[in-house]
Structure 1
Amino acid sequence: MKFEVMRDSLLEGLNDVMKAVSSKTTIPILTGLKLEVTKKGLYITGSDSDITIQTFIPIEKDGEQIIQITETGSIVLQARVFNEIVRKLPTNDVEIEVTNQFQTHIRSGKSEFSLIGLDASEYPLLPQIEEDRQFFMPSDLLKSIIKETVFAVSTSESRPVLTGVNWQVKDGELHCVATDSHRLAKRKTAIKDLPEEEYSVVIPGKSLNELNKILEETSSEVAIVMTQQQILFKTGDVLFYSRLLEGNYPDTSRLIPNEYKTTILVNGKSLLQAIDRASLLAREERNNVVRFSTMGQGFVEVSSNSPEIGNVEEQIQAGSIEGEELKISFSAKYMMDALKAIDGQDVKILFTGAMRPFVLKSVHDDSILQLILPVRTY
């Protein structure tokens, strides 16, 4: 195998695939990257067996030649070392040549590295995915869906299925739900040309966070293909595969109350800032709890009290307050996460009582729902 490649294009590809490489893998070859040169260009693959990312560098792009191929072939190179070498090469022209015994020479300017490679035939193959059931989504929408749900996944491995986000395709809509059993985030979206059949898959939160980093650099459409074990996201020249979590995701629709005793409209940004200030004094061991209560004349009060440090009270003008008076306590972090997901819009908060879950929605948009369980302090 022998080819020349532009260093900046190679780095761009490496930036994406390195997101899938883990030093903690139990399969030694997965600490490496697979480079495969064909007549079309260079494929680079990285994987930790849960996530697999493949990027493609074509021979030419926008009329400019990026790769010159002398001989096709494939090799696996130590990911961290290869990535660092490419980063620090002196010129933009890079020549990579594999000689006998997988010896790999990397030349640039006056600098030459020799690495011991591994046999690419031992690298795991990409998952096989039938692409007849794919659907498309703008990358901005996909980024929003991830941002509005993934923060609520569980970090505890005691119920592995809750460490992922449940994506359900039904009735022409995509429903995405995450819960750690103390809070819940839900986003529903109507998407054209969804698969006819109903799907319910659970995508690991970690995979969605890594996917989000790749999407930051793109504004193109994303093709999505779901199967029983894997989900594939395709954008530009990048393929992102993720393993799905096994197990049945709980039916969360029963958690969402149908009727409410108190409804408050309030500016999301003002409330977020007030809770942020109140949480400065919320004691750590009390799980960062703040109190929220209705006052007269259309005000709500956000307060926090720490016997060792002091207390804070702040009143906020609500847009409207309907129904019963209310005093409730909740985790400041959970409330702030929920308000950030709704992103500074005016918020409708629906309460069913001091010890029942309450719901936050955007006043302007019914597609996002956040639910939080209160904390007993009164």
Structure 2
Amino acid sequence: MSTAVAEKEIVELNEQVEDSLKTKLEVEIRKDVMQSILKRLDRSREKNGVLPIKQGIYIFFDEEKIVGRAMNGDFTTEVVVAKDKKNFDILDGTSGGAVFMDPKLVSMVNSLPRKNIKLSINGGDAVLSAGRSKFELKILDHLEYPAIFNELGGVEIKVHPDVLRAMYRNTTYATSTNEVRPFLTGVNHKLVDRHLVLAATDAHRLAQMRYELDKDFEEVSKIVPAPSLNEVQKQLDDTVSSVTLHIKDKEVIYVFSNGVTIRSRVIDHNFPDTDRLVPEDCVTEVSFLAGDLQSLVKRAMLVDQENSVKLLIRAEDRQMRMVSREADKSGFEEDVVPLRGQGKDIRIGFNIRYLMDALSHYDAEEQIKLQFISFMKPFLIRTENGDDRNLDLILPVQLPDKDAKDAVVTIDNFKADIQIDLVEDEKPE
């Protein structure tokens, strides 16, 4: 056999091997199933990064299930859909998948006209079709996608989805976006005294929530990045009946009952002792319906959304005035009557956006109380009848008023509307 013939046979053999290793698969899948998978994954893929493949969505089919994955620098989302008689069928091949890199993949699937769509994968190419519509896609080999380890382990706790959603909604807003101090860009998760305690702060405000557990756990403290928790909240829809957290040394894993798993990194740093920021006693307290206070703050923010506002409070007289001024421009002033008030008069300034952020997670009909210590100390927001250990705290700003330190607070020409329920108070003749 000549050298040329031998080399030709080697080349042909290599081509046959390469061809045999290429993924060849044809699948018919219900459009709504594909849409659901992509919806849960699309937010999780890397927008920019060192590894381009992380900008894609991994999808793998076998005879029992579909596995979808997307990841970024903070967390990985995995979706597993078990096969049934209606959701998908493998028409050609036994198993296979790809990493879909096109950022418009979700829009492509949404635009297809039929209830069922076909996906054909052949090496580095894929075709997505329904009826006479067809999209040709460039893909990457699913074997090149970063592997994840499926072990769970760690400290395992179960939390009701509604509770977890509320706890994250009430704390993530207070995290910092400044990467200079990365340990403030997440929410601290602490297991202590049979409670899960969440705390977040950006050094100007603090949010804290506690949830009582059904048994004692090993004491741990881990900081989870806010982007991970925002995604957890979005995944907690009506299809989720339970959530299990696995708190490990280097990651926190969320296992949802609907086949979704989120694996988040943890921020390697000690969280500051925020308990020392919370005062034990207050000298002034006023109560409101959260919705009334939200409306008041929204009006004040029409003048200035970023700078400080001033509160003048005569608690025993049930009088409060909010004053907002934009330098050398417009101003806002409104008098309101608290539901209840007790304690000393106080004058205090603070960032109005921080107050709006804190109020936004309270229901409009919920009664809340503002608790003050002095014009130089943080003030607290708590629910009227809830656990006092669940709170929002806002640091004050220095007032420009020369009389800011005066003990006597005067509110001239108080003009709050005290409205009477005419229907309830109306008496028959």
Letter of the structure 2 residue corresponding to residue 224 of structure 1: L
Q: Secondary structure of 2:345's partner?
A: coil
**Counterparts of 2:102 and 2:187, CA distance in 1:** 29
Most deviating of 146-155 and 213-222: 213-222
Partner of 2:255: 234
**Counterparts of 1:368 and 1:239, CA distance in 2:** 28
Letter of the structure 1 residue corresponding to residue 358 of structure 2: A
Partner of 1:250: 272
| Superposed CA offset, 1:220-246 (max 9, x none) | 111211111111112212111111112
Letter of the structure 1 residue corresponding to residue 69 of structure 2: T
Q: Secondary structure of 1:312's partner?
A: strand
| Superposed CA offset, 1:63-107 (max 9, x none) | x511112421222121524333222223122222222x3332323
**Counterparts of 2:330 and 2:105, CA distance in 1:** 54
Q: Secondary structure of 2:43's partner?
A: helix
Partner of 2:103: 80
Partner of 1:97: 120
**Counterparts of 1:346 and 1:109, CA distance in 2:** 56
Confirm or deny that 1:223 pairs with 2:247. Answer: no
Letter of the structure 1 residue corresponding to residue 79 of structure 2: T
Identify if the C-alpha distance between structure 1 residues 105 and 355 changes in structure 2 by more than 3 Å, giving closer, same or farther: same
Q: Is residue 6–residue 94 contact of structure 1 (8 Å, CA) maintained in 2?
A: yes
| Superposed CA offset, 1:172-211 (max 9, x none) | 11101110000000010112256x2111111111111122
Equivalenced residue count is: 370
Q: Is residue 265–residue 319 contact of structure 1 (8 Å, CA) maintained in 2?
A: yes
**Counterparts of 2:395 and 2:98, CA distance in 1:** 52
Partner of 1:47: 71
Partner of 1:198: 219
Identify if the C-alpha distance between structure 1 residues 77 and 271 changes in structure 2 by more than 3 Å, giving closer, same or farther: closer
Letter of the structure 1 residue corresponding to residue 371 of structure 2: L
Most deviating of 309-318 and 224-233: 309-318
Most deviating of 343-352 and 247-256: 343-352
Deviation at 1:311, TM superposition (A): 2.9
Q: Is residue 121–residue 127 contact of structure 2 (8 Å, CA) maintained in 1?
A: yes
Deviation at 1:336, TM superposition (A): 1.6
Partner of 1:57: 81
Partner of 2:148: 126
**Counterparts of 1:39 and 1:104, CA distance in 2:** 19
Partner of 1:373: 395
Most deviating of 127-136 and 164-173: 127-136
TM-score, normalised via structure 1 length:
0.92
Q: Is residue 186–residue 225 contact of structure 2 (8 Å, CA) maintained in 1?
A: yes
Deviation at 1:362, TM superposition (A): 0.5
Letter of the structure 2 residue corresponding to residue 18 of structure 1: D
Partner of 1:141: 163
Partner of 1:22: 46
Deviation at 1:304, TM superposition (A): 1.6
Q: Is residue 279–residue 288 contact of structure 1 (8 Å, CA) maintained in 2?
A: no
Task: Indicate the structure (1 or 2) with the bigger Cα radius of gyration.
Answer: 2
Deviation at 1:132, TM superposition (A): 6.2
Deviation at 1:151, TM superposition (A): 0.5
Letter of the structure 1 residue corresponding to residue 338 of structure 2: A
For residue 327 of structure 1, the aligned residue among 347, 369, 377 is 347
Q: Is residue 10–residue 57 contact of structure 1 (8 Å, CA) maintained in 2?
A: no
Q: Is residue 153–residue 248 contact of structure 2 (8 Å, CA) maintained in 1?
A: no
Partner of 2:313: 294
Letter of the structure 2 residue corresponding to residue 289 of structure 1: S
Confirm or deny that 1:9 pairs with 2:33. Answer: yes
Q: Is residue 291–residue 303 contact of structure 1 (8 Å, CA) maintained in 2?
A: yes
Letter of the structure 2 residue corresponding to residue 125 of structure 1: A
In structure 1, list runs of 5 or more residues that go unmatched. none
Q: Is residue 313–residue 321 contact of structure 2 (8 Å, CA) maintained in 1?
A: yes
Q: Is residue 138–residue 222 contact of structure 1 (8 Å, CA) maintained in 2?
A: yes
Q: Is residue 175–residue 185 contact of structure 2 (8 Å, CA) maintained in 1?
A: yes
Deviation at 1:2, TM superposition (A): 2.7
Deviation at 1:128, TM superposition (A): 4.2
**Counterparts of 2:310 and 2:361, CA distance in 1:** 21
Q: Is residue 46–residue 73 contact of structure 2 (8 Å, CA) maintained in 1?
A: no
For residue 361 of structure 1, the aligned residue among 372, 375, 382 is 382
Letter of the structure 1 residue corresponding to residue 249 of structure 2: Q
Deviation at 1:217, TM superposition (A): 4.5
TM-score, normalised via structure 2 length:
0.81
Q: Is residue 155–residue 218 contact of structure 2 (8 Å, CA) maintained in 1?
A: no
**Counterparts of 1:355 and 1:28, CA distance in 2:** 50
Most deviating of 358-367 and 130-139: 130-139
Identify if the C-alpha distance between structure 1 residues 105 and 281 changes in structure 2 by more than 3 Å, giving closer, same or farther: closer
Q: Is residue 275–residue 290 contact of structure 1 (8 Å, CA) maintained in 2?
A: no
Deviation at 1:156, TM superposition (A): 0.9
Q: Is residue 298–residue 318 contact of structure 1 (8 Å, CA) maintained in 2?
A: yes
Across the aligned residues of Structure 1 and Structure 2, the Cα RMSD in angstroms comes to: 1.9
Percent identity reads 27
Letter of the structure 2 residue corresponding to residue 93 of structure 1: N
In structure 2, list runs of 5 or more residues that go unmatched. 1-24, 402-429
Identify if the C-alpha distance between structure 1 residues 152 and 41 changes in structure 2 by more than 3 Å, giving closer, same or farther: same
Identify if the C-alpha distance between structure 1 residues 112 and 276 changes in structure 2 by more than 3 Å, giving closer, same or farther: closer
Confirm or deny that 1:337 pairs with 2:357. Answer: yes
Partner of 1:316: 336
Letter of the structure 2 residue corresponding to residue 206 of structure 1: P
**Counterparts of 1:81 and 1:304, CA distance in 2:** 45
**Counterparts of 1:34 and 1:266, CA distance in 2:** 50
Partner of 2:371: 350
**Counterparts of 1:114 and 1:341, CA distance in 2:** 45
Most deviating of 119-128 and 326-335: 119-128
Identify if the C-alpha distance between structure 1 residues 112 and 310 changes in structure 2 by more than 3 Å, giving closer, same or farther: closer
Confirm or deny that 1:261 pairs with 2:283. Answer: yes
